[in-house]
Amino acid sequence: MLNKNRNRFTMAVIITLTQLLQISCIETQSLSQGLIGDFIIPYDLYGPAKTIQLPRALKEISGIIYYQEGVVLCCEDETGKVYAIDLKTGDILDYFDFGKKGDYEDLALAPNREKNKYHIYVLRTDTGNLYRINNLGEKNQKEKVFKTFLKERHNAEGLCYLPEEDILLLACKNSADKNKSDTDYQNYIYAFDMNDKKTSKEPYITLDTRIIEKAISPYKLKESPFQPSAIAQRPGTDHLYILSSVNKALLIIDKKGNILNYYSLPAQIFTQPEGISFSPEGELFISNEGKDSSATILYYSAP
Protein backbone atom coordinates (compact mmCIF):
# COMPACT_ATOMS: atom_id res chain seq x y z
CA MET A 1 0.00 0.00 0.00
CA LEU A 2 2.81 2.39 0.91
CA ASN A 3 4.58 1.59 -2.34
CA LYS A 4 1.40 2.31 -4.34
CA ASN A 5 0.92 5.67 -2.61
CA ARG A 6 4.57 6.49 -3.13
CA ASN A 7 4.27 5.65 -6.83
CA ARG A 8 1.15 7.81 -7.17
CA PHE A 9 2.90 10.70 -5.44
CA THR A 10 5.92 10.29 -7.71
CA MET A 11 3.70 10.28 -10.81
CA ALA A 12 1.87 13.41 -9.60
CA VAL A 13 5.18 15.20 -9.09
CA ILE A 14 6.38 14.16 -12.54
CA ILE A 15 3.16 15.36 -14.16
CA THR A 16 3.31 18.69 -12.32
CA LEU A 17 6.95 19.23 -13.26
CA THR A 18 6.17 18.34 -16.86
CA GLN A 19 3.34 20.87 -16.93
CA LEU A 20 5.56 23.56 -15.42
CA LEU A 21 8.26 22.77 -17.97
CA GLN A 22 5.72 23.05 -20.79
CA ILE A 23 4.52 26.42 -19.48
CA SER A 24 8.13 27.60 -19.19
CA CYS A 25 8.87 26.48 -22.75
CA ILE A 26 5.75 28.24 -24.06
CA GLU A 27 6.65 31.42 -22.22
CA THR A 28 10.24 31.30 -23.46
CA GLN A 29 9.13 30.70 -27.03
CA SER A 30 6.54 33.47 -26.75
CA LEU A 31 9.15 36.03 -25.80
CA SER A 32 11.80 34.95 -28.28
CA GLN A 33 9.98 33.75 -31.43
CA GLY A 34 6.38 34.67 -30.63
CA LEU A 35 3.39 32.38 -31.14
CA ILE A 36 2.06 33.26 -34.58
CA GLY A 37 4.33 34.61 -37.31
CA ASP A 38 7.94 34.66 -38.45
CA PHE A 39 8.58 38.26 -37.45
CA ILE A 40 10.98 38.50 -34.50
CA ILE A 41 10.64 41.48 -32.21
CA PRO A 42 13.97 43.35 -31.89
CA TYR A 43 13.59 43.78 -28.11
CA ASP A 44 14.35 41.36 -25.28
CA LEU A 45 10.97 41.49 -23.54
CA TYR A 46 12.35 39.37 -20.69
CA GLY A 47 15.13 41.85 -19.99
CA PRO A 48 14.22 45.53 -19.87
CA ALA A 49 17.28 47.75 -19.61
CA LYS A 50 15.59 49.53 -16.73
CA THR A 51 12.48 49.20 -14.58
CA ILE A 52 11.34 52.62 -13.38
CA GLN A 53 9.29 52.63 -10.18
CA LEU A 54 6.54 55.26 -10.08
CA PRO A 55 5.03 57.12 -7.10
CA ARG A 56 1.69 56.20 -5.52
CA ALA A 57 -0.11 59.02 -7.38
CA LEU A 58 0.45 57.07 -10.62
CA LYS A 59 -0.69 53.65 -9.43
CA GLU A 60 -3.54 53.87 -11.96
CA ILE A 61 -1.24 54.88 -14.84
CA SER A 62 -2.66 54.20 -18.27
CA GLY A 63 -1.23 55.71 -21.47
CA ILE A 64 2.29 57.09 -21.96
CA ILE A 65 4.01 59.03 -24.73
CA TYR A 66 7.65 59.88 -25.24
CA TYR A 67 7.95 63.68 -24.94
CA GLN A 68 11.60 64.69 -24.93
CA GLU A 69 14.95 63.29 -23.84
CA GLY A 70 14.58 61.87 -20.34
CA VAL A 71 10.86 62.68 -20.08
CA VAL A 72 7.62 60.88 -20.86
CA LEU A 73 4.09 62.16 -20.46
CA CYS A 74 1.37 59.97 -19.03
CA CYS A 75 -2.25 60.01 -17.97
CA GLU A 76 -4.12 57.95 -15.43
CA ASP A 77 -7.65 56.71 -15.67
CA GLU A 78 -9.29 58.77 -12.93
CA THR A 79 -8.37 62.45 -13.29
CA GLY A 80 -7.98 64.95 -16.13
CA LYS A 81 -4.26 65.47 -15.63
CA VAL A 82 -1.18 64.96 -17.78
CA TYR A 83 1.96 64.09 -15.81
CA ALA A 84 5.58 64.66 -16.83
CA ILE A 85 7.81 61.83 -15.57
CA ASP A 86 11.58 61.83 -15.10
CA LEU A 87 12.83 58.63 -16.73
CA LYS A 88 15.92 58.51 -14.52
CA THR A 89 14.13 58.64 -11.17
CA GLY A 90 10.45 58.00 -11.88
CA ASP A 91 9.60 61.24 -10.10
CA ILE A 92 6.75 63.50 -11.19
CA LEU A 93 8.37 66.61 -12.63
CA ASP A 94 5.07 68.41 -13.04
CA TYR A 95 1.42 67.84 -13.83
CA PHE A 96 -1.10 69.80 -15.88
CA ASP A 97 -4.87 69.91 -15.52
CA PHE A 98 -6.84 69.76 -18.74
CA GLY A 99 -10.26 68.25 -17.93
CA LYS A 100 -12.74 66.99 -15.38
CA LYS A 101 -12.57 63.60 -13.70
CA GLY A 102 -13.08 60.78 -16.15
CA ASP A 103 -11.66 57.62 -17.68
CA TYR A 104 -8.61 58.80 -19.66
CA GLU A 105 -6.71 55.89 -21.16
CA ASP A 106 -4.16 57.05 -23.72
CA LEU A 107 -2.45 60.06 -25.27
CA ALA A 108 -0.53 61.03 -28.40
CA LEU A 109 1.62 63.81 -29.83
CA ALA A 110 0.76 65.41 -33.17
CA PRO A 111 2.35 68.41 -34.91
CA ASN A 112 1.00 71.91 -34.43
CA ARG A 113 2.17 73.22 -37.78
CA GLU A 114 1.14 76.79 -37.07
CA LYS A 115 3.62 77.18 -34.21
CA ASN A 116 6.15 74.46 -35.00
CA LYS A 117 5.22 72.73 -31.75
CA TYR A 118 3.14 69.73 -30.76
CA HIS A 119 -0.47 69.23 -29.81
CA ILE A 120 -1.17 66.66 -27.13
CA TYR A 121 -4.27 64.55 -27.64
CA VAL A 122 -5.84 62.59 -24.80
CA LEU A 123 -8.48 59.89 -25.30
CA ARG A 124 -11.38 59.78 -22.85
CA THR A 125 -12.83 56.29 -22.94
CA ASP A 126 -16.13 56.84 -21.13
CA THR A 127 -17.24 59.45 -23.71
CA GLY A 128 -15.16 58.58 -26.78
CA ASN A 129 -13.99 62.22 -26.97
CA LEU A 130 -10.54 63.51 -27.83
CA TYR A 131 -8.99 66.36 -25.84
CA ARG A 132 -6.45 68.53 -27.63
CA ILE A 133 -4.02 70.47 -25.42
CA ASN A 134 -2.05 73.39 -26.83
CA ASN A 135 0.94 74.97 -25.09
CA LEU A 136 1.11 72.39 -22.31
CA GLY A 137 2.12 73.92 -18.99
CA GLU A 138 2.30 77.47 -20.29
CA LYS A 139 0.17 80.40 -19.18
CA ASN A 140 -1.74 80.29 -22.46
CA GLN A 141 -2.46 76.55 -22.27
CA LYS A 142 -5.74 75.83 -24.03
CA GLU A 143 -7.90 72.75 -24.44
CA LYS A 144 -10.39 71.81 -27.11
CA VAL A 145 -12.68 68.78 -27.17
CA PHE A 146 -13.42 66.88 -30.37
CA LYS A 147 -16.41 64.58 -30.29
CA THR A 148 -16.30 61.26 -32.10
CA PHE A 149 -19.13 58.81 -32.78
CA LEU A 150 -17.54 56.41 -30.28
CA LYS A 151 -19.37 55.76 -27.03
CA GLU A 152 -18.48 54.19 -23.71
CA ARG A 153 -19.64 50.80 -25.01
CA HIS A 154 -16.91 50.87 -27.68
CA ASN A 155 -14.29 50.99 -24.91
CA ALA A 156 -11.70 52.88 -26.97
CA GLU A 157 -8.44 52.73 -25.02
CA GLY A 158 -5.60 52.96 -27.55
CA LEU A 159 -4.42 56.14 -29.28
CA CYS A 160 -1.46 56.90 -31.54
CA TYR A 161 -0.48 59.29 -34.32
CA LEU A 162 0.59 58.15 -37.81
CA PRO A 163 2.70 60.96 -39.34
CA GLU A 164 2.67 59.74 -42.95
CA GLU A 165 -1.12 59.45 -43.02
CA ASP A 166 -1.66 62.44 -40.68
CA ILE A 167 -4.28 60.60 -38.66
CA LEU A 168 -4.85 59.44 -35.11
CA LEU A 169 -5.69 55.79 -34.58
CA LEU A 170 -8.27 54.88 -31.94
CA ALA A 171 -8.20 51.21 -30.93
CA CYS A 172 -11.38 49.77 -29.40
CA LYS A 173 -11.89 46.76 -27.16
CA ASN A 174 -15.51 46.34 -28.28
CA SER A 175 -17.06 46.74 -31.69
CA ALA A 176 -20.50 47.62 -30.22
CA ASP A 177 -22.05 46.79 -33.60
CA LYS A 178 -25.16 44.72 -32.94
CA ASN A 179 -26.04 44.46 -36.64
CA LYS A 180 -23.16 42.12 -37.44
CA SER A 181 -22.98 38.56 -36.17
CA ASP A 182 -19.19 38.27 -36.15
CA THR A 183 -18.34 41.42 -34.18
CA ASP A 184 -17.63 39.41 -31.03
CA TYR A 185 -14.49 38.24 -32.83
CA GLN A 186 -13.40 41.61 -34.20
CA ASN A 187 -11.44 44.57 -32.91
CA TYR A 188 -11.92 47.83 -34.77
CA ILE A 189 -9.31 50.56 -35.08
CA TYR A 190 -10.72 53.86 -36.32
CA ALA A 191 -9.01 56.89 -37.88
CA PHE A 192 -9.39 60.49 -36.78
CA ASP A 193 -8.48 62.79 -39.68
CA MET A 194 -6.26 65.66 -38.54
CA ASN A 195 -7.51 67.94 -41.32
CA ASP A 196 -11.29 67.79 -40.99
CA LYS A 197 -11.17 66.61 -37.34
CA LYS A 198 -13.64 63.82 -38.01
CA THR A 199 -13.58 60.11 -37.21
CA SER A 200 -14.51 57.76 -40.02
CA LYS A 201 -17.23 55.27 -39.11
CA GLU A 202 -15.56 52.72 -41.35
CA PRO A 203 -12.76 50.95 -39.46
CA TYR A 204 -9.26 51.80 -40.62
CA ILE A 205 -8.12 48.34 -39.49
CA THR A 206 -10.20 45.32 -38.53
CA LEU A 207 -8.59 42.58 -36.45
CA ASP A 208 -10.15 39.12 -36.51
CA THR A 209 -9.36 37.67 -33.09
CA ARG A 210 -10.27 34.17 -34.28
CA ILE A 211 -6.97 34.14 -36.18
CA ILE A 212 -5.16 34.78 -32.91
CA GLU A 213 -7.20 32.21 -30.97
CA LYS A 214 -6.60 29.53 -33.60
CA ALA A 215 -2.87 30.22 -33.74
CA ILE A 216 -2.33 30.07 -29.97
CA SER A 217 -4.75 27.18 -29.28
CA PRO A 218 -1.98 24.50 -29.44
CA TYR A 219 -0.28 26.23 -26.51
CA LYS A 220 -3.40 25.83 -24.31
CA LEU A 221 -3.24 29.39 -23.03
CA LYS A 222 -6.27 30.41 -20.97
CA GLU A 223 -7.03 33.71 -22.66
CA SER A 224 -10.13 35.72 -23.47
CA PRO A 225 -10.55 37.33 -26.92
CA PHE A 226 -7.85 39.89 -27.65
CA GLN A 227 -8.73 43.36 -26.33
CA PRO A 228 -6.47 46.32 -27.23
CA SER A 229 -5.50 48.68 -24.41
CA ALA A 230 -2.70 50.69 -26.11
CA ILE A 231 -1.18 51.17 -29.55
CA ALA A 232 2.01 52.74 -30.97
CA GLN A 233 3.89 52.81 -34.27
CA ARG A 234 7.54 51.82 -34.18
CA PRO A 235 9.53 54.62 -35.88
CA GLY A 236 10.98 53.86 -39.29
CA THR A 237 8.58 50.97 -39.90
CA ASP A 238 4.92 50.39 -40.75
CA HIS A 239 4.60 48.16 -37.67
CA LEU A 240 1.97 48.82 -35.04
CA TYR A 241 2.52 47.43 -31.55
CA ILE A 242 -0.76 46.74 -29.73
CA LEU A 243 -0.90 45.89 -26.03
CA SER A 244 -3.68 43.94 -24.38
CA SER A 245 -3.77 44.31 -20.62
CA VAL A 246 -6.42 41.66 -20.00
CA ASN A 247 -4.52 39.14 -22.14
CA LYS A 248 -1.05 40.26 -21.01
CA ALA A 249 -0.08 40.14 -24.65
CA LEU A 250 1.64 42.16 -27.36
CA LEU A 251 0.31 41.94 -30.91
CA ILE A 252 2.35 43.28 -33.83
CA ILE A 253 0.63 44.10 -37.12
CA ASP A 254 1.33 46.20 -40.19
CA LYS A 255 -0.80 49.14 -41.25
CA LYS A 256 -2.93 46.89 -43.45
CA GLY A 257 -3.88 44.81 -40.43
CA ASN A 258 -1.73 41.79 -41.29
CA ILE A 259 -0.65 39.99 -38.13
CA LEU A 260 3.13 39.72 -37.87
CA ASN A 261 3.36 38.03 -34.45
CA TYR A 262 1.84 37.65 -31.01
CA TYR A 263 3.73 37.58 -27.73
CA SER A 264 2.35 36.36 -24.42
CA LEU A 265 3.88 38.55 -21.70
CA PRO A 266 5.06 37.14 -18.33
CA ALA A 267 3.06 38.38 -15.36
CA GLN A 268 6.16 38.71 -13.18
CA ILE A 269 7.39 41.53 -15.43
CA PHE A 270 4.19 42.88 -16.91
CA THR A 271 1.85 43.23 -13.94
CA GLN A 272 -0.80 45.11 -15.92
CA PRO A 273 0.49 46.58 -19.21
CA GLU A 274 -1.52 49.71 -20.03
CA GLY A 275 0.63 52.00 -22.18
CA ILE A 276 3.24 51.79 -24.93
CA SER A 277 5.42 54.35 -26.71
CA PHE A 278 8.63 54.73 -28.71
CA SER A 279 11.27 57.44 -28.82
CA PRO A 280 12.26 58.69 -32.31
CA GLU A 281 15.42 56.54 -32.00
CA GLY A 282 13.37 53.38 -31.38
CA GLU A 283 13.60 53.06 -27.61
CA LEU A 284 10.56 51.20 -26.24
CA PHE A 285 8.57 52.16 -23.14
CA ILE A 286 5.76 50.11 -21.57
CA SER A 287 3.79 51.28 -18.54
CA ASN A 288 2.30 48.89 -15.97
CA GLU A 289 -0.49 49.79 -13.61
CA GLY A 290 0.29 48.98 -9.98
CA LYS A 291 -1.46 46.19 -8.14
CA ASP A 292 0.13 44.95 -4.92
CA SER A 293 3.23 46.98 -5.74
CA SER A 294 3.99 50.32 -7.37
CA ALA A 295 3.31 51.10 -11.01
CA THR A 296 6.29 50.86 -13.38
CA ILE A 297 7.64 51.93 -16.73
CA LEU A 298 9.76 49.32 -18.51
CA TYR A 299 12.53 50.79 -20.66
CA TYR A 300 14.08 48.88 -23.58
CA SER A 301 17.10 50.21 -25.47
CA ALA A 302 16.87 50.84 -29.21
CA PRO A 303 17.94 47.83 -31.32
Look at 43-52, 117-126, 178-187 and tell me which has the smallest mean pLDDT: 178-187
pLDDT tens, position by position, 242-270: 999 998 999 999 999 999 999 999 888 99
In a domain? residue 26: no
More confident residue, 277 or 220: 277
In a domain? residue 141: yes
pLDDT tens, position by position, 180-222: 545 567 889 999 999 999 999 999 999 988 888 887 776 656 5
Look at 15-19, 243-247, 264-268, 295-299 and tell me which has the smallest mean pLDDT: 15-19
In a domain? residue 6: no
In a domain? residue 5: no
In a domain? residue 9: no
CATH number of the domain where residue 47 is located: 2.120.10.30
Q: How many domains would you assign to the chain?
A: 1
Calculate what percentage of the chain has a pLDDT beyond 70. 83
Q: What is the pTM of this model?
A: 0.87
Q: Distance (Å, rounded) from C-alpha 100 to C-alpha 78?
A: 9
At residue 220, the pLDDT reads: 58
Domain of 210 in residue numbering reads as 33-300
In a domain? residue 125: yes
In a domain? residue 274: yes
In a domain? residue 226: yes
